[in-house]
Amino acid sequence: MFVPARLVFKFLPLISSTALASALIATPALASNVASTAAKIKASPKAPAAKPISSVTVTQVKIGAADSVFSLLKNYGYSDSQRNQVFIQSKMPRDFVLTPGELYRVTQDTKAGRTELKFFDRDHPQAYSFWRTKTEVGGRQESIKYDVKLVSASGHVRGSVVENISQAVGDELVAYRFMDAFLLDYNLARVLQKNAAFSLTVQKLYDQGQFVKFGEVTHAELEILGHSVVRDFRPLKHGGTYTADSTEYKNRMFFAPVDYIKISSLYQPHRFHPIKKFRRAHLGVDFELTSGEPVYSVAPGEIIRFGRNRAAGNFIVVRHANNYEAYYDHLSSVSSLKVGEKVEPGIVLGRIGCTGYCTRPHLHFAIKKMGEYLNPLNLIRGYSFNQRFEVARQD
């Protein structure tokens, strides 16, 4: 007798367990379902095999204020002789400086007993790697092709513009680079008003899927005296510059002394000296660049002095028209020059270095007129003499 399933459950209390089983099995469709279910229960799949645990770990470590490449290698077990060996193999410059807050990478392979430290060049797409096993050490320089992502941030200035941008982006160096876009035209300490709006676009650089550092600030916008001022970065064959349609430097008699304006210290009559630890006037501007980059004459002039002293290191002084004098300090090398020699704008006077009182490679550039120091940022264009035609073509 065919018994519908709904009737079986409806009259369940009146049917014995034996009768119920017989009724269900007697139903072809239900019998098939029961068999199928039983088969599934018997053939339940095995638990997936555990994935092998990798012996390699990769860690991004933030650089501390007291860290140096030398001290970090020591922390990872390198002896003095091993450190000297890997420095030579890696071709790392002796004046290579770590920047607190930036990242280096530690790759450890416990199975192979191998540890590798990778330090990324701040200004160029390259890195220096040092590896160590129980029996060997080595070092190398390698080119990096970064994956680039653009990110944007915005906000309002409430207090320090550096602090506000640092909070919005998460990196203080981005904030200082943002300010570079405006410092040739504005004294931000004087013209910025409370709640001024800002926005920016900046590159984030990745290597092997890991974030390494921020790159160039490609777009900067800042509310100044109630107006929105926009600066966009223009990459050039060598270096680059911030310009805008409203920017006009042609009335300035001096070109930039370098191909890339990256300001590490402003003209400050009452600056706290970073080495001597007391207030001392900083009567010029510091342009931070990689050691060895060219330094140019900013206008036609005459060499009136060059040499080396304890504070300025290797230096050159050039006299220009209208009683202006330009000072170039901390050079790693000076071109073959003579006192009284005439120089043209754009000629290489020397190379970026860190001689004299110096903490990292830079050019200290000062301008004096009639014995009085002036703020160079009010007098120079945003590009070097040799970049002038390239900038004009992009206008």
Category of 332 on φ-ψ map: left (φ > 0), alpha (ψ -120 to 50) or beta: alpha
229 within 8 A of 182, measured Cβ to Cβ: yes
Angle between helix 17-26 and 28-42 (nearest 10): 100
Other CB atoms within a 10 A radius of the CB of residue 143 amount to 8
Question: CB under 8 Å, gap of 24 or more: what pairs does 166-174 form?
Answer: 169/200, 169/202, 169/214, 171/101, 171/214, 172/101, 173/99, 173/101, 173/102, 173/214, 174/200, 174/202, 174/214, 174/217
Domain ranges of the chain: 1-30, 57-143, 252-395
User: In which band, very low, low, confident or very high, does the pLDDT at 349 lie, cut at 50, 70 and 90?
Assistant: very high
pLDDT digits (tens, 9 = 90+) for 216-236: 999 999 999 999 999 999 999
Helix (H) / strand (E) element for 36: namely helix 28-42
Give dist(CA 137, CA 244) in Å, integer.
50
Helix (H, G, I), strand (E, B) or coil at 238: coil
DSSP 385: G
Say whether 51 sits in a helix, a strand or coil: coil
Task: Give yes or no for a contact between 103 and 61, defined as CB atoms under 8 angstroms apart.
Answer: yes
Predicted local distance difference test score (pLDDT) of residue 54: 76
Per-residue pLDDT of 242-272, as tens digits, reads 987 555 577 899 999 999 999 999 998 776 6
Q: State pLDDT tens for residues 186-197.
A: 999 889 899 999
Structure tokens at 85: 């060996």
For 105, list phi and psi in degrees, rounded to 5.
-115, 135
Q: How far apart are CA 144 and CA 63, in angstroms?
A: 20
Place of tokens 């805008």: 244
Instruction: State whether residue 149 is helix, strand or coil.
Output: strand
What is the chain's Cα-based Rg?
34
Which residue type, as a one-letter code, is found at position 160?
A: S
Asked if residues 222 and 196 have their Cβ atoms less than 8 Å apart, the reply is yes
Return the beta strands (E) in 208-275 as ranges: 210-224, 227-235, 240-243, 254-256, 263-265
For residue 124, give the amino acid letter.
H
Give the CATH number of domain 57-143.
3.10.450
- 54: part of which helix (H) or strand (E)? none
Range name among 21-35, 68-82, 259-273 with the lowest pLDDT average? 21-35
Largest CA distance in the chain: 124
> Which of the residue ranges 5-14, 125-134, 304-313, 355-364 would you say has the lowest mean pLDDT?
5-14
Dist CA 91 CA 83 (whole Å) = 12
Query: Pairing between strand 197-207 and 210-224?
Result: antiparallel
Mean pLDDT of 146-173: 94
Task: Categorize the per-residue pLDDT at 118 as very low, low, confident or very high, splitting at 50, 70 and 90.
Answer: very high
* Cβ neighbours around 283 below 10 Å, total: 19
d(CA 98, CA 68): 6
User: What percent of the chain has a predicted confidence (pLDDT) above 70?
Assistant: 83
**CB of 257 closer than 8 Å to CB of 295:** yes
Phi, psi angle pair for 295, to nearest 5°: -120, 130
CATH of domain 252-395: 2.70.70.10
Percent above pLDDT 90 for the chain: 72
